[in-house]
């Protein structure tokens, strides 16, 4: 009730603000005139723009037993049919992952990597790291010129030199080995069929392939299936015979069908056409790694997320610790106090990320210290609720000494309550833009996630230091935050999104939307988002996220506001109080939640 009152008050303050502005020129205004203007403005403003109003209870797809939420309807449908056939959530996730490599080539992949967070119905949880690694010939200064400056040749983001050793195929086999119940052949087959027989482009699918034509031409010397003289249109069919052949090899020869033999030869030959570094040994030696998930609590919920080499889990829990000290539900969703607090927490947490987090197999990541409540209490103690802290005055916290622009997400829950949250990526849209000749899959440009030079931003504007410097075989730092939430020992939410550096803050806000602001899953996903990442020192604000008075208030506090088109492309599942599942599939993309 209190929340509702506050929301009404905020809305009416906001409307009065506009009304006052409009009426300031009207010399004699009576109360009834003012009321008339206010009511008209409510109707006018609500119809003119879609500012999100909490608790309006938009309901996403709901099902009784099982659900898949992914970036493409064809991939979601494949996952559902695996579970209808008796497969579990992990089987479904594997089939969806391979299908996305075909129908969502900008991010779905076999030439990239990712992370999986799993919670089985018995309450056990695990995390698989199938992140790419730097090739053995990689060096700390490989993207710098002779003056030690980052060269302007885009080597870390475009072309063969930008690729790390792919981890996705090994990852799928590792997941299957530990949890799979259906044959791997049956899980890969739907992807083979889609690659061989073709699939129809959606409007957004055609659009992204059209906008990448020039890059495809520049980085490929063979007629890749995505190149066409006339623009692609919705409904056009894309066939990928080379990719189908590669998937057949993986189906028939297992992991080695990708990391050894013909596909490995094709990949290494592709490297040798340019400055690519990946060798046969790099491929043969790639191994995904089981890690202990990051776990913490937030307002009686347990949060299970990805540990390093992702920064996501640590950063998410730091942000939640900082939020728990404040009554944001009373303040309201996307009001200036809440946005200010989130931004102040975020600039501090991203400064810690840049300094302390890297591949745990190479650097000592002070995980316990960063998650320590005393540390975070002190870390956030200097936040003023009246004014913004310039990022130039924020640096990483002092921790006690150690005692010893494409990605995609999929969420699955099966009828037994097993849950999987996978975020997987080529990094940029279509990764390096290089499609391995003859093998038909895109290679990632994940090397750009390393810090090529301390203090110099990568493509997401993220800066880093030695913890994330390039070294042979090292995994580059990630922001991917596949997350599972439980309450009272029961599964409550499966959450994740692409979005580069904005992944962490989109997951964070989605959790707040459900836990603090009482939204349903679809509503929490739809809700407009904001983002701060320390540098650049700005709050990125999604179109229509904040009304002008809130922006004015934030600017008056010293925040710089940068409008941005879209934040997040979430795929989430919420277990409703009656046990049904509600999907949260992001309307910002073709994302689709399906189930039974």
Catalytic machinery residues: 407
User: What span, in angstroms and rounded, lies between the C-alpha atoms of 477 and 469?
Assistant: 9
Nearest residue (CB) to ligand DON, 349 versus 575: 349
Nearest residue (CB) to ligand DON, 482 versus 499: 499
- Compute the chain's Rg from CA coordinates: 24
DSSP 138-204: --TTTTB-TTSSBPSS-TTTSSGGGPPBP-HHHHHHHHHHHH--S-HHHHHHHHHHHHHH-EEPPHH
Task: Residue 547: count other Cβ atoms within 10 Å of its Cβ.
Answer: 20
Nearest residue (CB) to ligand DON, 407 versus 591: 407
Burial class (CB in 10 A: 0-12, 13-18, 19+), 233: exposed
User: What span, in angstroms and rounded, lies between the C-alpha atoms of 435 and 243?
Assistant: 10
User: What span, in angstroms and rounded, lies between the C-alpha atoms of 19 and 36?
Assistant: 10
Nearest in space to 462 (alpha carbons), one of 477, 475, 444, 480: 477
Nearest residue (CB) to ligand DON, 516 versus 590: 590
Say whether 250 sits in a helix, a strand or coil.
Answer: helix
Least distance from ligand DON to the Cβ atom of residue 310, Å: 7
Nearest residue (CB) to ligand DON, 266 versus 479: 479
Nearest residue (CB) to ligand DON, 205 versus 500: 500
Least distance from ligand DON to the Cβ atom of residue 446, Å: 6
Phi, psi of 491 (to 5 degrees): -60, 135
User: What span, in angstroms and rounded, lies between the C-alpha atoms of 138 and 278?
Assistant: 9
Least distance from ligand DON to the Cβ atom of residue 498, Å: 4
What is the CB-side half-sphere exposure of residue 192 using CA atoms within 13 A? Answer: 14
DSSP 466: G
Task: Residue 322: count other Cβ atoms within 10 Å of its Cβ.
Answer: 21
53: tokens are: 């109003």
DSSP 14: H
Nearest residue (CB) to ligand DON, 109 versus 376: 109
Task: Residue 59: count other Cβ atoms within 10 Å of its Cβ.
Answer: 12
Q: At what angle do helices 312-324 and 503-515 cross, to 10 degrees?
A: 40
DSSP 49-81: -----TT------EESS-EEEES-HHHHHHHHH
Q: End-to-end CA distance of the chain, in Å?
A: 35
Task: Residue 398: count other Cβ atoms within 10 Å of its Cβ.
Answer: 10
Least distance from ligand DON to the Cβ atom of residue 229, Å: 28
Least distance from ligand DON to the Cβ atom of residue 381, Å: 29
State the SS3 of 16-28. HHHHHHHHCCCCC
User: What span, in angstroms and rounded, lies between the C-alpha atoms of 554 and 552?
Assistant: 5
Judged by the rule CB under 6 A, the positions of this chain that interact with ligand DON are 405-407, 425, 427, 446, 449, 478-480, 498-500, 503
Least distance from ligand DON to the Cβ atom of residue 267, Å: 20
384: tokens are: 């003023």
Secondary structure element (H or E) that encloses residue 11, with its range: helix 2-23
Residue 229, phi-psi category: left (phi > 0), alpha (psi -120 to 50), beta (remainder): alpha
Nearest residue (CB) to ligand DON, 407 versus 509: 407
Least distance from ligand DON to the Cβ atom of residue 507, Å: 12
Q: At what angle do helices 184-197 and 89-103 cross, to 10 degrees?
A: 20
Nearest residue (CB) to ligand DON, 421 versus 478: 478
Nearest residue (CB) to ligand DON, 62 versus 478: 478
Nearest residue (CB) to ligand DON, 115 versus 380: 115
Nearest in space to 135 (alpha carbons), one of 343, 286, 322, 250: 286
User: Is 100:70 a contact under the CB 8 Å cutoff?
Assistant: yes
Nearest in space to 428 (alpha carbons), one of 449, 409, 411, 410: 449
Least distance from ligand DON to the Cβ atom of residue 112, Å: 9
């Amino acid at each position: 009730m209190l929340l509702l009152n506050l929301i009404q008050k905020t809305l009416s303050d906001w409307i009065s603000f506009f009304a006052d502005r409009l009426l300031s020129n009207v010399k004699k205004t009576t109360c009834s005139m003012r009321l008339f203007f206010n009511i008209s403005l409510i109707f006018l403003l609500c119809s003119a723009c879609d500012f999100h109003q909490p608790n309006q209870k938009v309901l996403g797809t709901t099902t009784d037993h099982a659900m898949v939420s992914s970036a493409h309807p064809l991939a979601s449908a494949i996952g559902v049919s695996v579970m209808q056939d008796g497969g579990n959530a992990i089987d479904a996730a594997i089939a969806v992952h391979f299908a996305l490599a075909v129908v969502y080539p900008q991010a779905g992949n076999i030439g990239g990597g990712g992370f999986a967070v799993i919670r089985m119905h018995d309450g056990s949880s695990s995390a698989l790291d199938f992140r790419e690694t730097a090739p053995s010939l990689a060096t700390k200064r490989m993207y710098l010129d002779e003056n030690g400056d980052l060269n302007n040749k885009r080597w870390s983001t475009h072309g063969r030199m930008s690729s790390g050793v792919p981890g996705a195929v090994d990852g799928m086999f590792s997941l299957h080995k530990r949890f799979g119940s259906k044959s791997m052949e049956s899980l890969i087959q739907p992807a083979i069929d889609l690659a061989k027989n073709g699939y129809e482009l959606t409007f957004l699918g055609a659009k992204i392939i059209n906008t990448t034509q020039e890059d495809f031409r520049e980085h490929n010397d063979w007629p890749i299936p995505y190149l066409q003289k006339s623009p692609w249109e919705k409904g056009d069919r894309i066939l990928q015979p080379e990719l189908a052949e590669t998937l057949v090899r993986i189906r028939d020869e297992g992991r080695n069908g990708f990391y050894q033999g013909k596909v490995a030869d094709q990949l290494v030959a592709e490297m040798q056409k340019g400055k690519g570094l990946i060798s046969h040994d790099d491929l043969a030696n790639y191994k995904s790694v089981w890690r202990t998930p990051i776990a913490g609590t937030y307002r009686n919920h347990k949060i299970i997320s990805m540990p390093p080499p992702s920064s996501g889990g640590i950063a998410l829990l730091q942000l939640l610790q900082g939020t728990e000290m404040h009554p944001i539900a009373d303040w309201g969703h996307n009001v200036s106090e809440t946005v200010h607090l989130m931004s102040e927490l975020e600039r501090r947490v991203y400064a810690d990320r840049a300094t302390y987090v890297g591949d745990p197999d190479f650097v000592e990541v002070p995980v316990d210290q960063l998650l320590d409540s005393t540390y975070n209490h002190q870390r956030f103690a200097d936040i003023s609720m009246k004014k913004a802290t310039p990022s130039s005055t924020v640096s990483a916290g002092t921790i006690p000494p150690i005692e010893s622009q494409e990605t995609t997400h999929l969420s699955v829950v099966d009828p037994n309550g097993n849950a999987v949250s996978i975020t997987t990526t080529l990094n940029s849209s279509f990764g390096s833009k290089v499609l391995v000749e003859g093998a038909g899959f895109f290679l990632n440009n994940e090397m750009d996630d390393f810090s090529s030079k301390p203090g110099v931003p990568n493509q997401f504007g993220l800066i880093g230091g030695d913890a994330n410097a390039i070294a042979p075989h090292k995994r580059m730092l990630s922001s991917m935050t596949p997350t599972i939430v439980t309450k009272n020992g029961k599964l409550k939410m499966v959450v994740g999104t692409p979005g580069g550096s904005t992944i962490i803050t989109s997951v964070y806000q989605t959790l707040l939307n459900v836990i603090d602001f009482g939204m349903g899953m679809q509503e929490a996903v739809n809700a407009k988002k904001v983002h701060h990442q320390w540098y650049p020192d700005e709050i990125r604000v999604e179109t229509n996220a904040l009304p002008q008075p809130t922006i004015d208030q934030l600017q008056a506090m010293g925040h710089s506001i940068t409008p941005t088109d879209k934040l997040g492309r979430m795929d989430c599942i919420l277990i409703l109080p009656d046990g049904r599942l509600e999907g949260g599939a992001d309307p910002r993309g073709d994302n689709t939640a399906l189930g039974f």
